Chains A and B, each alone.
Chain A
Amino acid sequence: MSSALKRDQHKAIGALLTPALIIIIVFTTIPALTTLSYAFFGWEGFQRTTYVGFENFQSLFQYPYFDQFKAALKHNTIAFVVIMTFQTSIGLLLAYAMFRVKRGLRFYRVVVFLPVIFSLVVVGYLWQALLDPYYGPINQILTGIGLPEFAKPWLGDTATALPSLMFINLWRWVGFPAIVFLAGLNAINQEFLEAARIDGASEGQIFRKVIFPLLAPSLTIITVLTFIGAYEWFDLPFVLGGSNGSPAGSTDTLALMFYRLSFGSIDSGANNVGVGSALGVLIFTLVGLGAALGSNLLRRREVEQ
């Protein structure tokens, strides 16, 4: 290839990349940097005042924000661990079942993936109605079959609200890892499996020793996406618990806290853009570092086919 041709190619690549780059810079990079700068200024309502150094970060580490921050971080972490454990493993099992199924794959695929395409707000209200402590069918059924002690105010009890949210999240999203894993399974060279079978490996051994290692790229993607999703969890907690993480902050997350601080909290007026931006910077750093580190580590253990 002549160097002139190469230069032309570079020009073409540049021309194709420019529009996307401009969009990313204008809508992602500049707002992110602006937020970074906001964190170092004083705020009165929505008016920026003077440079205050690290004062907003100090406030974030004082009452009441620090208590809220610790609680929210804990909830995000629980969500990551629980969702990673259950949603991913159930997703993997579903994918493996679909991989091995002889008939009706398309039907199962649609059924498993269907909740993912539902509007999240609709899913939220649907489950809110199902779990309603007074009129909800779930409690009525529990009472009806003689288990009234299990009829709880699921979304209103500080002990059950977060687990309920994680369950709804699993119901809604489990199809996503399942489809990703199914694609990963289909990409595995059948010869490996046949070779293992000829060598007399059992189904369990094939899954553990051949299939699972070869699925590593899919697992990397799912882990990183779950990590980012869990630490930026906003939509479902917002729909079901409002911006205050009701009841009593038991479903609060870092993203809800950011929203509440920046734009004003439930029915109680005042906001604090400075502290909100300081929190935004922390979330960005946490998620950015975590995702970069995690994907790096996970990619190292991926094997070539």
Chain B
Amino acid sequence: MKIKRFRGLVAALFAVTAVAIPGATSASAATELTFWSWRTEDKAFYENQIKLFQAKNPDITVKFTPYLNTEYNAILATALTAGKGPDIIQMRPYGGMSNLSDAGNFLPLTAAEVPALKKLPAGILAAAQGYKDKKQYGLPYAVSALGIMYNPDILEQSGVRALPQTWAQLMEAFNKVKKAGFLPIGNAGGNGPALEQLHATIGPTFYGGTSFFNDVVAGKKTFTDKAYVASLKAVADIAKYMPANYQGIDYNTMRGLFANEKAAFYIGGNYEIGYFRSLNPSLNIGWFPAPKANAGAKRYVGTWADGSYAINAKTTNKAAALKFLNFLGTKEFGQALVDEIAFIPTAPYVKINDQAVKEINRWRTTLGTPFLNVVGFRYESPTSSSILQPGFQKLIVGGTTPEQLAKDVQTAVASWYAPQKGKS
């Protein structure tokens, strides 16, 4: 085994970046902006939108480059730390990017330069602010909501007449679907983040949603709380409804199982709908919020402001970059994002036409609870996500217990999060 040292890989990455970003352009040539994203599935959408932008701004060209979602942070961090990186950056929310914004990698945005910021609610703007300086670094473009998507045709054929309202009814529906020869859920174990989202969908009703969120953020409760352990157990319980060999099924395959009408349910975010439709335009998709854990529990819809657009602080094309950012803040672009990728808009001036998205947004506004790991515990390492993602992969094959996993998360978070310090 003769291995190119990974230093070589990083160097190659820099080289690629260097090529992707031409320095000063000559006066006659158009200004070229580079735009990075983790949404490989939205490439066609963005390229289309860029064409519209370029038609109005013939002196600017924009090059859209998406990277694999799981590696995007590392690739972007490497480039920015080296003083490179794209002009326009699709930025993760909350702690997902705050280490980069705190290091001064992004251009602070003002409402004077980016008027769309004035129209967004404060709670949404907060997702794209620095952890320390609270400056606005990004223009948030979408809100995400977690729930259960289903295929009405398969439910019909399996004799599931009513949508499950409780956990027991959900299990009953899974069994009926299985008996009818379909896969109950497309969800599988090959992708840690997808399992974390599954937990964030079905978990809050077990741990008590927003009140637990507030207590654990304030340090009044810990992750070893019985209710939180029960939420982890729910993930372990669901594994037996996953497709055969679920441990090895990757993100695209699991989503494909639902999109290609092999699985009756898919547990996850509304942002999957666009991908499902791209695989199977005639797919009939229904959506309902995760059922309550028991008769006394409440239902919740996990939600968070998911992603924003930011500008590289070191861009040599600030004026052009701002022009493009403002294009991303227009009503037309926001409308296209909602109509074509089924995102829930951040801006009140965008209308939701899609029936499924409308329904999701209605539930979100009434049952919304913050995505615990994303909103609360991604600011320092080890994040709760970095323990839970591989932890869930172990849990669903019996490699760890819900109690142990809860203890692991608590130990990790207590090592840096002040209100949890010394608690177990």
Contacts and interface: CB of A to CB of B under 8 A. Distances in A.
B311 to A, nearest CB: 18
Interface residues of B, number: 65
Nearest to B103: A46
A189 to B, nearest CB: 28
A246 B73 contact: no
A234 B74 CA distance: 15
Query: Most chain-B CB neighbours within 10 Å: which of A65, A83, A249?
Result: A249
Contact of A268 (B3, B244, B257, B386): B386
Interface in A141-166: 151-158
A242 interface: yes
B102 A266 contact: no
Contacts of B97: 269
A115 interface: no
Nearest to B197: A267
Interface stretch (B22-30, B53-61, B281-289, B387-395): B387-395
Given A45-B99, A156-B249, A267-B192, A64 B3 contact: no
A249 B378 contact: no
Interface of A is mostly: loop
Nearest to B99: A45
B390 A270 contact: no
A169 B1 CA distance: 7
B343 to A, nearest CB: 18
A101 to B, nearest CB: 25
Interface string B1-27: 111111101000000000000000000
B136 interface: no
Interface string B321-358: 00000000000000000000000000000000000000
A45 B130 CA distance: 12
Contacts of A264: 73-74, 77, 99
Interface of B is mostly: helix
Contacts of A93: none
A245 B389 CA distance: 11
Interface in B386-418: 386-387, 389-391, 393-394, 397, 399, 408, 411-412, 415
Interface in A267-288: 267-272, 275
Interface of A: 31, 44-47, 59, 62-65, 79, 83, 87, 128, 131-135, 139, 151-158, 169, 173, 176, 225-226, 228-230, 232-235, 238, 242-249, 255, 259-261, 263-272, 275
Contact of B399 (A64, A134, A158, A272): A158
Contacts of A151: 245
Contacts of A44: 99, 102, 132
28 contacts: A44-B132, A46-B99, A47-B103, A63-B408, A64-B408, A64-B412, A83-B1, A133-B245, A135-B253, A153-B190, A156-B189, A158-B247, A158-B397, A176-B1, A225-B1, A232-B5, A233-B1, A243-B74, A247-B189, A247-B390, A265-B383, A266-B192, A268-B378, A268-B385, A269-B94, A269-B97, A269-B385, A270-B379
Given A264-B77, A268-B389, 16 more contacts: A64-B411, A128-B250, A133-B247, A133-B249, A156-B246, A173-B1, A238-B6, A246-B191, A261-B381, A264-B74, A266-B193, A267-B73, A268-B383, A269-B73, A270-B378, A272-B382
